[in-house]
């Protein structure tokens, strides 16, 4: 920010551009103390000089002392209230401090003074995106690109915003242009590959993605990879050792300088309950809460005190209202900095902090990097390792983390019985389903479905699906693909594999309850390979649709196997893709056998471990108790397996805990 501010000085100002450049040079050299000392010395003589106050604010910003930086720039603005540079930089500082409303206000004031400043429009777009007003953010980023078509940063931002709005196809031209402007920008190249995955544009993508991941692994510079996420490594065939290394590199970005020690154990609560904190942006109408809604009202309040820290939007939905009413303590921390939220968690005496986001969209892993709780746990939201240092345990199960998989993770494993995935047994399925005609489905055809996000569809599994269709006369594949470019690409790929593109039926978006209802027209759910169906597989099973899967070699590629084991359908877990194909074809040709599987699923649904929410909660609470017991014992934390409360009703202390 200092360098950019100095470039913006169109005329010498007291204390002068040369002095500001000297301050910047000292900060870049790491000699911040010298820069601060000289600024403080000059402020002693001229305490109201707005330029000096502003420069000291920028120095404090470079040290991540955001509150102090904002105060100094605000003091400068008292004496120069119409300085657009001061206002613009105040907006950036407020954004870094998570004071997003104040950041937006400062940037809009700056834009009234210099409405043709593309940097201000770009920064406003960032703030609006973080506030959740993504359409307004797109419009601001679009204005930045219009004002400066050669700004690669603005184009990249616009592309990212379009992508998050489900407009990956529209994002691609901006990403290609950003790469023309800055060919070495690995972040733009990664975003381009992610956008291409969303529109099922496959030629050359897998090999290029692997090359990018390997380049990131070798690169000494983190900066060039920007928002490159380690989850990308799960969508292509690379070794798990590489996936772990990339997660460790990514996690290091969020660690406090020099590392942050875990705080001492907080004082025991007056009533002796274990204090559990849940951290997420998804406490609204979101897939994570669809799964976990039944967890919070079922916590044993005589033994556990649950806190929820929400940094996502309040969408006013019934899911949000139900959640807020069900959790014992709820706090909306959207407007807080990560430091403020970490202090709040410490002040609340949280003993086990459970992160439900991992490295996913809108996450705040920097809170974990500040180590606000003695024990930190990853659960549900991210199917992979978070590297090392951010969390102590990953809650998983023996299907997603089979024996020997400890090497895939930088954390200890806490294995739950059955499946790691919680489900809500209170979800209602509307009795009235839309007609087949309304869904665009043939009246009598066998319907294979795959309701995954399009990025999970890749050439290897799509080829298997097309062979299944070729061998199943009249059958169709029903998928949720809304982007017209993605639909066109899939039709082209089907044609290339000898399948009539008309046999692909694309479903539009409908609310969750209606989506559950329309499962009535699906016969068999075909799972994806590198990244399985997760919530979508649970939806299908809850709605009575069998799921067919073939496990891969990593956590996200084994989730459906976990769900099927817990749903009593292990025969639908194929050992190879060849076996997967044969099972699908045989079930399409044997309607009575498929009907028997459906009947078994529906008839036993209430008693199946996958949908027994009270049973899951008791097992989860056993895991928490074992973790805390291990935390208080001498020596390193052990990995452990929780024994099912239904089969082994003895106290949690009798569970099996194994060393690393």
Residue 247 contacts residue 410 (beta carbons within 8 Å)? yes
Identify the helix (H) or strand (E) that includes residue 413. strand 412-416
Predicted pLDDT at 3: 54
Tell me what the mean pLDDT of segment 134-152 comes to. Answer: 97
Bridge partners of 476, per DSSP, are 447
Tell me what the mean pLDDT of segment 509-516 comes to. Answer: 92
Domain extents in the chain:
2-251, 260-425+612-660, 436-611
Predicted pLDDT at 271: 83
Predicted pLDDT at 265: 76
Q: Helices (DSSP H) in 497-643: which residue ranges?
A: 512-518, 535-542, 559-566, 577-589, 591-603, 613-632
Tell me what the mean pLDDT of segment 193-220 comes to. Answer: 93
Residue 260 pLDDT greater than 70, yes or no: no
The residues near 21 (Cβ < 8 Å, ≥ 6 apart) are 6
pLDDT band at 263 (very low <50, low <70, confident <90, very high): low
Take residue 435 and report the two structure tokens written for it. 């007609």
Q: Helices (DSSP H) in 219-317: which residue ranges?
A: 240-252, 287-292
Its sign, for the CA torsion 435, 440, 443, 447, is negative
Tell me what the mean pLDDT of segment 341-361 comes to. Answer: 96
Residue 212 pLDDT greater than 70, yes or no: yes
Predicted pLDDT at 281: 96
Predicted pLDDT at 465: 98
Bridge partners of 331, per DSSP, are 309
User: What's phi and psi for 485, nearest 5 deg?
Assistant: -65, -40
Tell me what the mean pLDDT of segment 584-606 comes to. Answer: 95
Q: pLDDT tens-digit profile of 70-124?
A: 999 999 999 999 999 999 999 999 998 888 899 999 999 999 999 999 999 999 9
Q: pLDDT tens-digit profile of 307-322?
A: 999 999 999 999 999 9
In this structure, what DSSP letter does residue 573 have? B
Bond from prior residue into 98 cis (ω within 30 degrees of 0): no
Highest CATH level, class, for 2-251: mainly alpha
| Phi-psi sector, 465: left (phi>0), alpha (psi -120 to 50), beta | alpha
Asked if 2-251 and 260-425+612-660 have one fold, the answer is no
Take residue 245 and report the two structure tokens written for it. 């290394």
Answer whether CATH 3.40.50.11380 is correct for domain 260-425+612-660: yes
**Whole-number percent of the chain with pLDDT over 90:** 77
d(CA 658, CA 639) in angstroms, rounded, equals 6
d(CA 489, CA 537) in angstroms, rounded, equals 24
Identify the helix (H) or strand (E) that includes residue 447. strand 447-450
Tell me what the mean pLDDT of segment 447-469 comes to. Answer: 97
d(CA 484, CA 568) in angstroms, rounded, equals 38
Distance of CA 621 to the CA centre of its chain: 24
Distance of CA 139 to the CA centre of its chain: 24
pLDDT band at 658 (very low <50, low <70, confident <90, very high): very low
Residue 270 pLDDT greater than 80, yes or no: no
Predicted pLDDT at 217: 92
Residue 338 contacts residue 366 (beta carbons within 8 Å)? yes
| Mean model confidence pLDDT for the chain | 91
Q: Helices (DSSP H) in 348-427: which residue ranges?
A: 365-369
Q: pLDDT tens-digit profile of 41-79?
A: 888 898 898 988 988 888 888 888 888 999 999 999 999
Distances (CA, A) of 447 to 520, 523, 536, 576: 10, 5, 16, 22
Bridge partners of 276, per DSSP, are 306, 352
Predicted pLDDT at 653: 47
Predicted pLDDT at 7: 45
pLDDT band at 284 (very low <50, low <70, confident <90, very high): very high
Distances (CA, A) of 218 to 214, 242, 384: 6, 11, 21
When the candidates are 3.40.50.2000, 3.40.50.300, 3.40.50.150, 2.70.70.10, the CATH number that belongs to 436-611 is 3.40.50.2000
Residue 14 pLDDT greater than 70, yes or no: no
Residue 357 contacts residue 382 (beta carbons within 8 Å)? yes
Which of 218-222, 292-296, 325-329, 345-349 has the least mean pLDDT? 218-222
**Count of positions (residues) in the chain:** 660
Take residue 331 and report the two structure tokens written for it. 């706090």
The three-state secondary structure class of 37 is: helix
Buried b (16+ CB within 10 A) or exposed e, 486-499: bbebbbebbeeeeb
Predicted pLDDT at 348: 97
d(CA 292, CA 394) in angstroms, rounded, equals 17
Tell me what the mean pLDDT of segment 240-259 comes to. Answer: 88
**Whole-number percent of the chain with pLDDT over 70:** 93
């Amino acid at each position: 920010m200092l360098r950019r501010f100095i470039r913006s000085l169109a005329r010498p100002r007291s204390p002068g551009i040369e002095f500001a450049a000297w301050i910047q040079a000292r900060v870049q050299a790491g000699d911040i103390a010298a820069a601060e000392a000289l600024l403080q010395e000059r402020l002693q003589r001229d305490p109201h000089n707005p330029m000096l106050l502003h420069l000291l604010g920028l120095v404090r910003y470079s040290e991540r002392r955001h509150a102090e930086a904002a105060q100094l720039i605000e003091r400068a603005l008292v004496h120069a209230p119409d300085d657009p540079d001061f206002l613009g930089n105040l907006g950036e500082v407020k954004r870094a401090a998570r004071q997003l409303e104040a950041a937006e206000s400062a940037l809009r004031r700056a834009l009234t003074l210099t409405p043709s400043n593309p940097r201000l429009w770009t920064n406003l777009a960032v703030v609006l995106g973080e506030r959740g007003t993504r359409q307004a953010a797109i419009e601001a980023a679009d204005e930045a690109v219009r004002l400066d078509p050669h700004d690669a940063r603005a184009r990249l931002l616009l592309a990212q915003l379009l992508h998050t709005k489900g407009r990956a196809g529209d994002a691609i031209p901006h990403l290609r242009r950003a790469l023309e402007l800055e060919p070495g920008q690995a972040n733009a190249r990664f975003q381009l590959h992610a956008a291409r995955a969303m529109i099922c544009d496959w030629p050359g993508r897998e090999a290029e993605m692997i090359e990018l991941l390997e380049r990131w692994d070798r690169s000494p510079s983190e900066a060039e990879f920007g928002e490159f996420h380690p989850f990308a490594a799960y969508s292509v065939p690379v070794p798990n050792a590489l996936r772990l290394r990339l997660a460790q590199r990514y996690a290091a970005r969020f660690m406090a300088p020099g590392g942050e020690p875990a705080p001492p154990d907080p004082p025991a609560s007056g009533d002796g309950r274990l204090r559990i904190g849940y951290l997420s942006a998804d406490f609204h109408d979101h897939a994570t809460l669809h799964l976990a809604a039944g967890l919070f009202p079922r916590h044993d309040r005589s033994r556990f005190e649950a806190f929820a820290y929400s940094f996502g939007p309040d969408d006013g939905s019934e899911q949000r209202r139900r959640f807020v009413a069900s959790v014992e303590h709820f706090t909306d921390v959207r407007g807080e900095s990560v430091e403020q939220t970490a202090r709040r968690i410490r002040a609340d005496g949280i003993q086990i902090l459970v992160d439900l986001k991992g490295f996913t969209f809108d996450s705040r892993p920097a809170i974990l990097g500040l180590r606000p709780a003695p024990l930190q746990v990853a659960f549900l939201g991210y199917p992979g390792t978070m590297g090392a240092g951010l969390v102590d345990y990953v809650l998983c199960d023996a299907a997603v983390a089979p024996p020997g998989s400890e090497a895939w993770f930088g954390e200890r494993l806490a294995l739950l019985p059955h499946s790691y995935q919680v489900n809500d047994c209170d979800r209602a399925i509307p009795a009235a389903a839309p007609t087949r005609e309304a869904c665009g489905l043939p009246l009598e055809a066998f319907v294979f479905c795959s309701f995954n996000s399009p990025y999970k569809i890749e050439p290897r599994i799509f080829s298997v699906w097309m062979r299944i269709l070729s061998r199943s006369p009249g059958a169709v594949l029903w998928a949720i693909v809304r982007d017209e470019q993605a639909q066109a690409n899939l039709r082209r790929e089907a044609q290339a594999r000898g399948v009539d593109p008309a046999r692909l039926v694309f479903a539009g978006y409908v609310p969750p309850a209606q989506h559950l209802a329309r499962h009535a027209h699906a016969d068999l759910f075909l799972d994806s390979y590198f990244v399985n169906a997760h919530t979508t597989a649970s939806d299908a099973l809850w709605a009575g649709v069998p799921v067919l899967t073939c496990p891969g070699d990593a956590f996200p590629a084994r989730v459906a196997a976990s769900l099927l084991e817990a749903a009593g359908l292990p025969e639908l877990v194929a050992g190879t893709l060849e076996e997967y194909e044969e099972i699908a074809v045989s079930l399409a040709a044997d309607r009575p056998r498929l009907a028997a599987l459906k009947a078994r699923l529906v008839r036993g649904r209430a008693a199946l471990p996958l949908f027994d929410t009270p049973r899951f909660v008791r097992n989860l609470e056993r895991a928490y108790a074992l973790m805390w017991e291990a935390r208080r014992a001498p020596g390193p934390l052990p990995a452990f397996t929780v024994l099912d409360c239904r089969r082994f009703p003895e106290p949690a202390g009798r569970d099996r805990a194994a060393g690393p």
